[in-house]
Amino acid sequence: MSDDSAAIVDAAAQRRIQAYRIEQIGRRLNQADCPAIVLFDPVNIRYATGTRNMQVWAMHNICRYAVLFASGETVLFELPSSAHLSRGLVGDIRTSLTTDFMAVGGRSVEMGQRWAESMVALLREKGIGEKKLAIDRADLVLVQQSQRQSLQLVEGQPIMERARAIKSRDEIEALRRSLQTCEQSVAAMRERLQPGMRETDALALLIDGSIQRGGEYPETRLLTSGPRTNPWFQETSDRVFEDGDMVAFDTDLIGPMGYYNDISRSWVVGDGRPADEQRRLYALAYQQMQHNTALLQPGLGFLEYSDQAFQLPEDCIPNRYADVAHGCGLGVEYPFIWYREDQEWGAYDGVFEENMVVCVECYVGRLDGREGVKLEQPVWLSDAGPVVLSQYPFELDYL
């Protein structure tokens, strides 16, 4: 399964991971009474096949896809110029067709028709009589041309999200080891943080450290300082750290083997002690983290978890984080646990299951306050209770 030289588990474990993932997808396809699924999302393709190819570029250019059958067979449709990247990982590699306007201009309808015809032919080739195919992401032209070919497209994202949500023990160990590379990168960045450095300088150190340790790319630019820590979700800027500033960050790094290294920490820059308000904010965020982590257990409902979650002070609720927790694997995954206050925007219920990995999100910043504190950690829902997978320390002396 290894797609690069940055493998963090041995070859036998990689083969077990790949076999487990194929089994998970096949089981979900059978439950959905669907013979196959076509994957366009490069993260889903990586999960299902262990292959990668220009991951970020492929997220906005329709250039490669994979078809997985409930039987366990896989066909990868790859750019002809880079098919060599997947040899040895997938046995059946064919040339992809694209409808992307950038690539084919006014021929998109024609290419969409050819794509739909090729999917019908592939189902027939595999001995499947029905024209039914799940799909994770759908370009409008592909949908229209599939309908003209009487190809029934089924919503495939729930199939993939539920498959990815339940990890094997090998996957959990691989994610733990990937997180260790992130923690080492965070430690290396912290050693060099000092007043007079820009936010962008610090972020560059973090990303550089991750890449040196086998990581791949950042998904966000969330490292801010001083007044730019509140409200959260202000992107990294050229602001210069001042002595005594709170620095807060969310790593959001794609690490070795594509695992999502997702931890958050906050510190005071310089040699001085944190101010009283900084200590109060940190203590609230840490209490929120400990409380919400301890709640996690298989069988607990998502909305029940939201109801039991740590209650922030009234003046911190307007600036609360976007979610209480979210699944973690090769990215932010199912489930996404909303705050009850945000129920109108899509909160849904469900049940936590054993061997999910969930990131507990904590952010505390007062409305109109100067600074905020961001903390986050990934937690494995084991049969023995919640197990924190990240080991990077918190600032207990701030409490």
Topology given in CATH for the domain delimited by 166-398: Creatine Amidinohydrolase (3.90.230)
pLDDT number for residue 2? 42
- Alpha carbon of 6 to those of 169, 263, 364, 366, 386: distances in Å? 20, 20, 36, 41, 28
Per-position pLDDT tens, the chain of length 399:
444 446 899 999 999 999 999 999 999 999 999 999 999 999 999 999 999 999 999 999 889 999 999 999 999 999 989 889 999 899 999 999 999 999 999 999 999 999 999 999 999 999 999 999 999 998 999 999 999 999 999 999 999 999 999 999 999 999 999 999 999 999 999 999 999 999 999 999 999 999 999 999 999 999 999 999 999 999 999 999 999 999 999 999 999 999 999 999 999 999 999 999 999 999 999 999 999 999 999 999 999 999 999 999 999 999 999 999 999 999 999 999 999 888 899 999 999 999 999 999 999 999 999 999 999 999 999 999 999 999 999 999 999
CB 226 within 8 A of CB 181: no
In angstroms, the CA 378 to CA 255 distance is 14
Query: CA-based angle 241:247:252, to the nearest 5?
Result: 125
pLDDT number for residue 65? 97
Instruction: Name the amino acid, one letter, at 2.
Output: S
Question: Which tokens hold the place of 120?
Answer: 């019908």
In angstroms, the CA 246 to CA 226 distance is 5
pTM for the model stands at 0.95
CB 8 within 8 A of CB 181: yes
pLDDT number for residue 340? 85
End-to-end CA distance of the chain: 44
Residue span(s) of the chain under CATH 3.90.230.10 come to 166-398
pLDDT number for residue 133? 97
3-state secondary structure labels for all residues of the chain: CCCCCCCCCCHHHHHHHHHHHHHHHHHHHHHCCCCEEEECCHHHHHHHHCCCCCHHHHHHCCCCEEEEECCCCEEEEECHHHHHHHCCCCCEEEECCCCCHHHHHHHHHHHHHHHHHHHHHHHHHCCCCCCEEEECCCCHHHHHHHHHCCCEEEECHHHHHHHHHCCCHHHHHHHHHHHHHHHHHHHHHHHHCCCCCEHHHHHHHHHHHHHHCCCCEECCCEEEEHHHHCCCCCCCCCCECCCCCEEEEECCEECHHHCEECCEEEEECCCCCCCHHHHHHHHHHHHHHHHHHHHCCCCCEHHHHHHHCCCCCHHHHHHCCCCCEEEECCCEEEEEECCHHHHHHCCCCCECCCCCEEEEEEEEECCCCCCEEEEEEEEEEECCEEEECCCCCCCHHHC
pLDDT number for residue 343? 85
Residue span(s) of the chain under CATH 3.40.350.10 come to 11-164
In angstroms, the CA 105 to CA 97 distance is 13
| Other CB atoms within 10 Å distance of the CB of residue 166 | 19
C-alpha R_g of the chain: 23
pLDDT number for residue 397? 96
pLDDT number for residue 101? 93
CB 374 within 8 A of CB 249: yes
pLDDT number for residue 114? 97
In angstroms, the CA 155 to CA 34 distance is 10
CB 266 within 8 A of CB 248: yes
CB 12 within 8 A of CB 169: no
Residue keyed to tokens 């499947």: 128
What kind of architecture, by CATH, is found in domain 11-164? 3-Layer(aba) Sandwich (3.40)
Instruction: Name the amino acid, one letter, at 199.
Output: E
